[in-house]
Amino acid sequence: MAEVLVYVDHVDGAVRKPTLELLTLARRIGEPVAVALGSGAENTAAALAEHGAVKVLTHDAAEYADYLVVPKVDALQAAYDAVSPAAVLVPSSAEGKEIAARLAVRIGSGIITDATDLEAGDEGPVATQSVFAASFTTKTRVSKGTPVITVKPNSAAVEAAPAAGAVEALAVTFSDKATGTKVTARTPRESTGRPELTEAAIVVSGGRGVNGSENFAIIEALADSLGAAVGASRAAVDAGWYPHSNQVGQTGKSVSPQLYIANGISGAIQHRAGMQTSKTIVAVNKDAEAPIFDLVDYGVVGDLFDVVPQLTEEINTRKG
Ligand SMILES: Cc1cc2nc3c(=O)[nH]c(=O)nc-3n(C[C@H](O)[C@H](O)[C@H](O)COP(=O)(O)OP(=O)(O)OC[C@H]3O[C@@H](n4cnc5c(N)ncnc54)[C@H](O)[C@@H]3O)c2cc1C
Protein backbone atom coordinates (compact mmCIF):
# COMPACT_ATOMS: atom_id res chain seq x y z
CA MET A 1 0.00 0.00 0.00
CA ALA A 2 1.22 3.52 -0.80
CA GLU A 3 2.61 5.58 2.04
CA VAL A 4 1.12 8.95 2.94
CA LEU A 5 3.21 11.54 4.79
CA VAL A 6 1.48 13.27 7.69
CA TYR A 7 3.15 16.38 9.11
CA VAL A 8 2.77 16.34 12.90
CA ASP A 9 1.73 19.43 14.84
CA HIS A 10 2.75 18.91 18.47
CA VAL A 11 3.79 20.85 21.55
CA ASP A 12 6.79 19.23 23.27
CA GLY A 13 5.60 15.78 22.21
CA ALA A 14 1.87 16.30 22.90
CA VAL A 15 0.19 15.70 19.52
CA ARG A 16 -2.52 18.22 18.68
CA LYS A 17 -5.95 16.95 17.67
CA PRO A 18 -5.90 18.12 13.99
CA THR A 19 -2.93 15.79 13.39
CA LEU A 20 -4.87 12.81 14.75
CA GLU A 21 -7.71 13.78 12.40
CA LEU A 22 -5.21 13.79 9.51
CA LEU A 23 -4.25 10.21 10.38
CA THR A 24 -7.92 9.17 10.00
CA LEU A 25 -7.97 10.74 6.51
CA ALA A 26 -4.51 9.43 5.57
CA ARG A 27 -5.65 5.86 6.26
CA ARG A 28 -8.30 6.24 3.55
CA ILE A 29 -5.62 6.75 0.92
CA GLY A 30 -2.67 4.74 2.17
CA GLU A 31 -0.40 3.93 5.11
CA PRO A 32 0.31 6.96 7.29
CA VAL A 33 3.97 7.81 7.89
CA ALA A 34 4.22 10.64 10.41
CA VAL A 35 6.92 13.33 10.41
CA ALA A 36 7.54 14.84 13.86
CA LEU A 37 10.11 17.59 14.30
CA GLY A 38 11.59 19.58 17.15
CA SER A 39 11.66 19.24 20.91
CA GLY A 40 9.86 16.13 22.17
CA ALA A 41 9.39 14.71 18.64
CA GLU A 42 10.07 11.14 19.81
CA ASN A 43 7.41 11.44 22.50
CA THR A 44 4.74 11.76 19.81
CA ALA A 45 5.22 8.14 18.72
CA ALA A 46 2.78 6.43 21.11
CA ALA A 47 -0.17 8.69 20.22
CA LEU A 48 0.63 8.52 16.50
CA ALA A 49 0.92 4.70 16.57
CA GLU A 50 -2.38 4.47 18.46
CA HIS A 51 -4.05 6.38 15.61
CA GLY A 52 -2.56 4.48 12.69
CA ALA A 53 0.98 5.70 11.96
CA VAL A 54 3.02 2.77 10.64
CA LYS A 55 6.22 4.79 10.98
CA VAL A 56 7.22 7.96 12.81
CA LEU A 57 10.15 9.87 11.31
CA THR A 58 11.66 12.18 13.92
CA HIS A 59 14.32 14.87 14.00
CA ASP A 60 15.22 17.48 16.58
CA ALA A 61 17.48 20.49 16.13
CA ALA A 62 17.63 23.97 17.60
CA GLU A 63 16.82 25.40 14.15
CA TYR A 64 13.15 24.38 14.42
CA ALA A 65 12.58 26.69 17.36
CA ASP A 66 15.08 29.42 16.50
CA TYR A 67 14.05 30.12 12.90
CA LEU A 68 10.76 30.43 10.96
CA VAL A 69 9.40 27.67 8.75
CA VAL A 70 12.25 26.87 6.33
CA PRO A 71 14.02 24.28 8.56
CA LYS A 72 10.70 22.42 8.81
CA VAL A 73 10.28 22.56 5.02
CA ASP A 74 13.82 21.15 4.63
CA ALA A 75 12.90 18.27 6.96
CA LEU A 76 9.57 17.55 5.29
CA GLN A 77 11.34 17.50 1.93
CA ALA A 78 13.91 15.06 3.35
CA ALA A 79 11.03 12.82 4.46
CA TYR A 80 9.41 13.18 1.03
CA ASP A 81 12.69 12.15 -0.67
CA ALA A 82 13.09 9.18 1.69
CA VAL A 83 9.53 7.85 1.39
CA SER A 84 8.28 8.86 -2.11
CA PRO A 85 4.74 9.10 -0.72
CA ALA A 86 1.42 9.04 -2.56
CA ALA A 87 0.41 12.30 -0.84
CA VAL A 88 1.57 14.74 1.83
CA LEU A 89 -0.99 15.93 4.41
CA VAL A 90 -0.41 18.99 6.61
CA PRO A 91 -2.72 20.63 9.18
CA SER A 92 -4.30 23.86 7.81
CA SER A 93 -2.80 26.27 10.32
CA ALA A 94 -1.12 29.45 9.02
CA GLU A 95 2.25 27.77 9.56
CA GLY A 96 1.06 24.47 8.07
CA LYS A 97 -0.11 26.19 4.90
CA GLU A 98 3.19 27.98 4.48
CA ILE A 99 5.16 24.77 4.96
CA ALA A 100 2.91 22.92 2.52
CA ALA A 101 3.11 25.66 -0.12
CA ARG A 102 6.90 25.84 0.07
CA LEU A 103 7.18 22.06 -0.19
CA ALA A 104 4.83 21.96 -3.19
CA VAL A 105 6.93 24.56 -5.01
CA ARG A 106 10.13 22.66 -4.27
CA ILE A 107 8.84 19.29 -5.48
CA GLY A 108 6.91 20.75 -8.43
CA SER A 109 3.51 19.57 -7.17
CA GLY A 110 0.03 20.97 -7.07
CA ILE A 111 -1.36 21.96 -3.68
CA ILE A 112 -4.87 22.00 -2.21
CA THR A 113 -5.41 24.11 0.92
CA ASP A 114 -8.16 24.09 3.53
CA ALA A 115 -9.68 20.75 2.54
CA THR A 116 -12.66 19.75 4.67
CA ASP A 117 -12.68 16.10 3.61
CA LEU A 118 -10.55 13.65 1.69
CA GLU A 119 -11.29 10.40 -0.08
CA ALA A 120 -9.39 7.96 -2.28
CA GLY A 121 -9.90 8.39 -6.04
CA ASP A 122 -8.82 6.44 -9.14
CA GLU A 123 -6.37 9.18 -10.10
CA GLY A 124 -5.31 10.23 -6.62
CA PRO A 125 -6.93 11.63 -3.48
CA VAL A 126 -9.99 13.84 -3.95
CA ALA A 127 -10.38 16.76 -1.55
CA THR A 128 -13.54 18.62 -0.60
CA GLN A 129 -13.22 22.41 -0.25
CA SER A 130 -15.66 25.12 0.69
CA VAL A 131 -15.00 28.12 -1.60
CA PHE A 132 -16.21 31.65 -2.51
CA ALA A 133 -17.13 32.58 1.05
CA ALA A 134 -18.52 29.08 1.56
CA SER A 135 -21.17 29.50 -1.14
CA PHE A 136 -19.88 26.49 -3.12
CA THR A 137 -18.53 23.09 -2.16
CA THR A 138 -15.99 21.74 -4.63
CA LYS A 139 -14.19 18.46 -5.15
CA THR A 140 -10.60 18.87 -6.29
CA ARG A 141 -7.70 16.66 -7.25
CA VAL A 142 -4.05 17.55 -7.77
CA SER A 143 -3.18 16.85 -11.40
CA LYS A 144 0.58 17.48 -11.24
CA GLY A 145 3.08 15.75 -9.01
CA THR A 146 2.52 14.28 -5.54
CA PRO A 147 -0.56 15.91 -3.98
CA VAL A 148 0.22 18.24 -1.08
CA ILE A 149 -2.99 18.87 0.86
CA THR A 150 -3.70 20.94 3.95
CA VAL A 151 -6.78 19.93 5.93
CA LYS A 152 -8.85 22.11 8.24
CA PRO A 153 -9.28 21.13 11.90
CA ASN A 154 -12.45 19.15 12.72
CA SER A 155 -12.67 17.69 9.20
CA ALA A 156 -12.62 14.09 10.40
CA ALA A 157 -13.20 12.12 13.57
CA VAL A 158 -10.21 11.02 15.64
CA GLU A 159 -10.21 7.20 15.46
CA ALA A 160 -8.02 4.71 17.25
CA ALA A 161 -6.42 2.29 14.75
CA PRO A 162 -3.31 0.85 16.39
CA ALA A 163 -0.29 0.43 14.10
CA ALA A 164 3.43 -0.20 14.56
CA GLY A 165 4.50 3.44 14.84
CA ALA A 166 8.15 2.44 14.47
CA VAL A 167 10.35 5.43 15.26
CA GLU A 168 13.07 6.17 12.71
CA ALA A 169 15.56 9.02 12.81
CA LEU A 170 15.16 11.30 9.82
CA ALA A 171 18.40 12.55 8.25
CA VAL A 172 18.04 16.28 7.58
CA THR A 173 20.52 18.69 6.02
CA PHE A 174 19.39 22.27 6.37
CA SER A 175 19.49 24.49 3.29
CA ASP A 176 21.23 27.89 3.13
CA LYS A 177 17.84 29.56 3.48
CA ALA A 178 16.97 27.71 6.72
CA THR A 179 18.51 30.32 8.99
CA GLY A 180 17.32 33.35 7.02
CA THR A 181 14.62 34.49 9.44
CA LYS A 182 15.40 34.27 13.14
CA VAL A 183 12.88 34.28 15.97
CA THR A 184 14.08 37.05 18.27
CA ALA A 185 11.48 36.90 21.07
CA ARG A 186 8.53 34.84 22.23
CA THR A 187 5.73 36.02 24.51
CA PRO A 188 3.19 33.37 25.47
CA ARG A 189 -0.41 34.51 25.15
CA GLU A 190 -2.28 34.67 28.42
CA SER A 191 -4.36 31.51 28.55
CA THR A 192 -8.14 31.78 28.89
CA GLY A 193 -8.32 28.10 29.74
CA ARG A 194 -10.63 27.67 26.73
CA PRO A 195 -9.77 25.61 23.64
CA GLU A 196 -8.09 27.25 20.64
CA LEU A 197 -10.80 28.79 18.43
CA THR A 198 -9.85 27.11 15.17
CA GLU A 199 -9.53 23.66 16.74
CA ALA A 200 -12.44 23.69 19.19
CA ALA A 201 -15.18 21.09 18.76
CA ILE A 202 -17.73 23.66 19.95
CA VAL A 203 -17.70 27.43 19.33
CA VAL A 204 -20.09 29.89 21.00
CA SER A 205 -20.09 33.30 19.29
CA GLY A 206 -21.53 36.70 20.06
CA GLY A 207 -22.36 39.57 17.72
CA ARG A 208 -23.69 43.12 17.82
CA GLY A 209 -26.76 41.83 19.65
CA VAL A 210 -24.59 41.18 22.71
CA ASN A 211 -24.46 44.96 23.04
CA GLY A 212 -21.33 45.60 25.11
CA SER A 213 -18.10 44.00 26.27
CA GLU A 214 -19.45 43.38 29.77
CA ASN A 215 -22.31 41.30 28.29
CA PHE A 216 -19.84 38.89 26.69
CA ALA A 217 -19.74 37.27 30.14
CA ILE A 218 -22.99 35.46 29.29
CA ILE A 219 -21.47 34.18 26.03
CA GLU A 220 -18.39 33.02 27.96
CA ALA A 221 -20.56 31.32 30.59
CA LEU A 222 -22.38 29.32 27.89
CA ALA A 223 -19.04 28.48 26.26
CA ASP A 224 -17.62 27.29 29.59
CA SER A 225 -20.66 25.11 30.28
CA LEU A 226 -19.89 23.30 27.01
CA GLY A 227 -16.08 23.39 27.11
CA ALA A 228 -16.23 25.61 24.03
CA ALA A 229 -14.16 28.39 22.50
CA VAL A 230 -15.60 31.92 22.22
CA GLY A 231 -15.97 33.61 18.84
CA ALA A 232 -17.23 37.05 17.83
CA SER A 233 -18.57 38.79 14.75
CA ARG A 234 -16.63 41.65 13.24
CA ALA A 235 -19.26 44.10 14.47
CA ALA A 236 -18.57 42.99 18.05
CA VAL A 237 -14.80 43.09 17.51
CA ASP A 238 -14.86 46.50 15.79
CA ALA A 239 -16.88 47.86 18.70
CA GLY A 240 -14.03 46.78 20.98
CA TRP A 241 -16.18 44.27 22.89
CA TYR A 242 -13.99 41.24 22.18
CA PRO A 243 -10.39 40.73 20.90
CA HIS A 244 -9.69 40.56 17.19
CA SER A 245 -8.05 37.16 17.72
CA ASN A 246 -11.57 35.80 18.33
CA GLN A 247 -13.17 37.17 15.15
CA VAL A 248 -14.84 34.56 12.99
CA GLY A 249 -15.28 35.20 9.28
CA GLN A 250 -13.71 36.20 6.02
CA THR A 251 -11.27 38.61 7.63
CA GLY A 252 -11.10 36.67 10.89
CA LYS A 253 -10.63 33.00 11.64
CA SER A 254 -12.22 30.15 9.82
CA VAL A 255 -13.80 27.56 12.11
CA SER A 256 -15.43 24.24 11.36
CA PRO A 257 -16.55 22.82 14.71
CA GLN A 258 -19.05 20.06 15.42
CA LEU A 259 -21.34 22.70 16.95
CA TYR A 260 -21.48 26.48 16.32
CA ILE A 261 -23.84 28.63 18.40
CA ALA A 262 -24.35 32.17 17.01
CA ASN A 263 -25.90 34.66 19.42
CA GLY A 264 -27.07 38.08 18.24
CA ILE A 265 -25.37 37.60 14.86
CA SER A 266 -27.31 38.44 11.68
CA GLY A 267 -25.46 36.03 9.37
CA ALA A 268 -23.73 38.37 6.91
CA ILE A 269 -21.93 36.58 4.07
CA GLN A 270 -18.54 37.60 5.49
CA HIS A 271 -19.40 35.96 8.83
CA ARG A 272 -20.80 32.85 7.16
CA ALA A 273 -17.55 32.48 5.22
CA GLY A 274 -15.80 31.62 8.46
CA MET A 275 -18.32 29.20 10.00
CA GLN A 276 -20.58 27.77 7.33
CA THR A 277 -18.82 24.40 7.27
CA SER A 278 -19.66 23.82 10.96
CA LYS A 279 -21.43 20.47 11.33
CA THR A 280 -24.40 21.69 13.42
CA ILE A 281 -25.35 25.37 13.55
CA VAL A 282 -27.60 26.91 16.19
CA ALA A 283 -28.63 30.58 16.26
CA VAL A 284 -30.32 32.75 18.84
CA ASN A 285 -31.67 35.97 17.32
CA LYS A 286 -34.65 38.12 18.18
CA ASP A 287 -35.37 38.84 14.50
CA ALA A 288 -37.13 35.88 12.86
CA GLU A 289 -36.11 37.27 9.44
CA ALA A 290 -32.36 37.34 10.22
CA PRO A 291 -30.41 35.66 7.37
CA ILE A 292 -28.57 33.41 9.87
CA PHE A 293 -31.80 31.38 10.11
CA ASP A 294 -31.34 30.32 6.46
CA LEU A 295 -28.39 28.12 7.37
CA VAL A 296 -29.12 26.89 10.88
CA ASP A 297 -29.99 23.39 11.98
CA TYR A 298 -31.75 24.79 15.06
CA GLY A 299 -32.93 28.37 15.45
CA VAL A 300 -34.30 30.14 18.52
CA VAL A 301 -36.21 33.37 17.86
CA GLY A 302 -35.77 35.22 21.12
CA ASP A 303 -33.81 37.70 23.15
CA LEU A 304 -30.36 36.31 23.83
CA PHE A 305 -30.40 37.86 27.31
CA ASP A 306 -33.31 35.53 28.15
CA VAL A 307 -32.32 32.49 26.11
CA VAL A 308 -28.57 32.18 26.69
CA PRO A 309 -28.56 32.23 30.52
CA GLN A 310 -31.41 29.69 30.57
CA LEU A 311 -29.51 27.45 28.18
CA THR A 312 -26.34 27.72 30.27
CA GLU A 313 -28.26 26.90 33.44
CA GLU A 314 -29.95 23.90 31.85
CA ILE A 315 -26.63 22.54 30.54
CA ASN A 316 -24.96 22.99 33.93
CA THR A 317 -27.91 21.29 35.66
CA ARG A 318 -27.77 18.32 33.32
CA LYS A 319 -24.01 18.03 33.74
CA GLY A 320 -24.22 18.21 37.51
C1 LIG B 1 -14.50 43.11 3.45
C2 LIG B 1 -15.36 42.75 4.64
C3 LIG B 1 -14.91 41.75 5.48
C4 LIG B 1 -15.68 41.38 6.60
N5 LIG B 1 -15.24 40.36 7.41
C6 LIG B 1 -16.03 39.96 8.42
C7 LIG B 1 -15.65 38.86 9.26
O8 LIG B 1 -14.55 38.29 9.12
N9 LIG B 1 -16.50 38.47 10.22
C10 LIG B 1 -17.71 39.08 10.44
O11 LIG B 1 -18.43 38.65 11.36
N12 LIG B 1 -18.08 40.13 9.68
C13 LIG B 1 -17.28 40.58 8.69
N14 LIG B 1 -17.66 41.65 7.96
C15 LIG B 1 -18.82 42.44 8.41
C16 LIG B 1 -20.16 41.87 8.01
O17 LIG B 1 -20.52 42.37 6.74
C18 LIG B 1 -21.25 42.27 9.03
O19 LIG B 1 -21.28 43.68 9.13
C20 LIG B 1 -21.04 41.69 10.42
O21 LIG B 1 -20.82 40.31 10.33
C22 LIG B 1 -22.26 41.97 11.27
O23 LIG B 1 -22.04 41.50 12.57
P24 LIG B 1 -23.29 41.10 13.46
O25 LIG B 1 -24.06 39.99 12.81
O26 LIG B 1 -22.79 40.87 14.84
O27 LIG B 1 -24.14 42.47 13.50
P28 LIG B 1 -25.52 42.83 12.82
O29 LIG B 1 -25.54 42.54 11.39
O30 LIG B 1 -25.82 44.22 13.26
O31 LIG B 1 -26.55 41.82 13.49
C32 LIG B 1 -26.86 41.84 14.85
C33 LIG B 1 -27.97 40.80 15.04
O34 LIG B 1 -28.27 40.70 16.41
C35 LIG B 1 -29.65 40.54 16.57
N36 LIG B 1 -29.96 40.98 17.93
C37 LIG B 1 -29.89 42.25 18.43
N38 LIG B 1 -30.19 42.25 19.74
C39 LIG B 1 -30.48 40.97 20.07
C40 LIG B 1 -30.85 40.32 21.29
N41 LIG B 1 -31.00 41.01 22.44
N42 LIG B 1 -31.11 38.99 21.27
C43 LIG B 1 -30.98 38.28 20.11
N44 LIG B 1 -30.60 38.84 18.93
C45 LIG B 1 -30.36 40.17 18.92
C46 LIG B 1 -30.27 41.40 15.50
O47 LIG B 1 -31.59 40.94 15.20
C48 LIG B 1 -29.29 41.18 14.35
O49 LIG B 1 -29.69 40.11 13.52
C50 LIG B 1 -16.91 42.06 6.86
C51 LIG B 1 -17.34 43.06 5.99
C52 LIG B 1 -16.57 43.41 4.91
C53 LIG B 1 -17.06 44.48 3.98
Kindly report, residue by residue over 145-162, the tens digit of the pLDDT.
Answer: 999 999 999 899 999 999
pLDDT of residue 170: 98
The whole-number mean pLDDT for each consecutive block of 10 residues of the chain, a chain of 320 residues, reads 95 96 98 98 98 98 97 98 97 96 98 96 95 86 98 94 97 96 91 92 98 98 98 98 96 94 97 93 98 96 98 94
Number of domains in the chain: 2
- Structural domain span for residue 284: 197-319
Atom of ligand 1 nearest to the CA of 252: 8
Are 127 and 204 part of one and the same domain? Answer: no
Are 152 and 27 part of one and the same domain? Answer: yes
**Which of 179, 214, 249 is the endpoint of a domain?**
179
With a 6 A CB cut-off, is 128 part of the ligand 1 pocket? no
**Which of 126, 153, 179 is the endpoint of a domain?**
179
* Closest to 232 measured CA to CA, from 215, 222, 221, 245: 245
Are 127 and 273 part of one and the same domain? Answer: no
Q: What is the pTM of this model?
A: 0.85
Would 184 be classed as within a structural domain? no
Q: Which residues pair with 115 in a beta bridge?
A: 151
Q: Over the stretch 239-273, which tens digit does the pLDDT of each residue have? A: 999 999 999 999 999 999 999 999 999 999 999 99
Would 192 be classed as within a structural domain? no
* Closest to 116 measured CA to CA, from 17, 271, 249, 257: 257
With a 6 A CB cut-off, is 252 part of the ligand 1 pocket? yes
Are 127 and 245 part of one and the same domain? Answer: no
pLDDT of residue 191: 85
Listed in sequence order, the residues at least 6 apart from 42 whose beta carbon sits closer than 8 Å to its beta carbon are 13, 36, 56, 58, 60, 167
Closest Cα to atom 35 of ligand 1: 264
Q: Please tell me the distance between residue 266's alpha carbon and the centre of ligand 1 in angstroms.
A: 5
Atom of ligand 1 nearest to the CA of 265: 25
Atom of ligand 1 nearest to the CA of 208: 26
Beta strand 14-15 with 31-37: parallel, antiparallel or unpaired? unpaired
